[in-house]
Amino acid sequence: MTNRGHLIVFEGVEGAGKSTHLQRAAAALRARGRAVVETAEPGGTPLGKRLRALLMDANNAAPTPWTELFLYLADRAEHVATFLQPALARGELVLCDRFSPSTLAYQGYGRGLDLHVVRQLDEVARQGLQPDLVILLDCPVELGLERAGRNDRFHRESLAFHERVRAGFLALASEAPNQFVVIDTRAPADRVHAQILAAVDRCLALD
Ligand code: TMP
């Protein structure tokens, strides 16, 4: 597979600070002269935006867990094929807000779908594409939910659901310590930012 660029994924529970820190990292990298592409799942393509609206709408009846999984995977299949692979083939540095670890954490650990099957289906959706680095921004779920302050379908889930998701992310990180870096976002934002940039620099220096 052509993968000359870099795919760096930001992950974490609701309100862990992914989106803010992703934007801040992108700005810092651009200030150093690097071309950076920012994207997100779900919703990184025109079709994905429609899937995201369906998935996040608090007024929609909840889909079954398998339906939900396939909607996220449809979003990923489209994003990988039409956005991520072409960007990586052009050698770009892509910062992506959520990717496969979210599916394993939310649909696998959170919803309780068979992890082995979720992994296999996800591998099909991402066509084997692997992030070069996953930055897991971690914080206690109560703190994250309070910070996020949103009211979409996921924010209405129980605390126990979000605890399973967080534990899932941490389990994924400990299974793949070379791919993940875990950063505690209870630390001051400037320190978190510096840790993120250090992790990105280490990843880019590996070439
Ligand atoms: P966010 O990207 O704005 O945080 O919201 C996306 C929501 O979708 C969030 O609650 C996590 C959830 N999600 C999944 O459940 N599975 C997935 O595969 C992805 C990418 C997101």
What sign for the dihedral angle of Cα 148, 152, 153, 159?
positive
Q: Indicate which atom in ligand 1 lies nearest the CA of residue 106.
A: 15
Torsion of CA 42, 100, 73, 63, to 10 degrees: -70
Decide: 106 in ligand 1 pocket, CB within 6 A: yes
pTM for the model: 0.96
Question: Residues 43-59: what's their mean pLDDT?
Answer: 94
Evaluate if residue 1 carries a pLDDT over 70.
no
CB atoms closer than 10 angstroms to residue 20: 17
Cα of 2 to ligand 1 centre, how many Å?
27
For ligand 1, whether the C-beta of 103 sits within 6 Å is: yes
Regarding the beta carbon of 109 and ligand 1, being less than 6 Å apart is answered no
* Residue 154, ligand 1, Cβ within 6 A: yes
pLDDT category of residue 76 using cuts at 50, 70 and 90:
very high
Which residue from 13, 8, 5 is spatially nearest to 197, judged by alpha carbons?
A: 8
- Angle made by CA atoms 157, 168, 124, in degrees to the nearest 5: 100
pLDDT band at 151 (very low <50, low <70, confident <90, very high): confident
For 61-70, 89-98, 152-161, which range has the lowest pLDDT when averaged over its residues? 152-161
Nearest to 15 by CA among 122, 165, 115: 165
- Alpha carbon of 207 to ligand 1 centroid (Å): 30
- Asked whether the beta carbons of 69 and 118 are under 8 A apart, the reply is yes
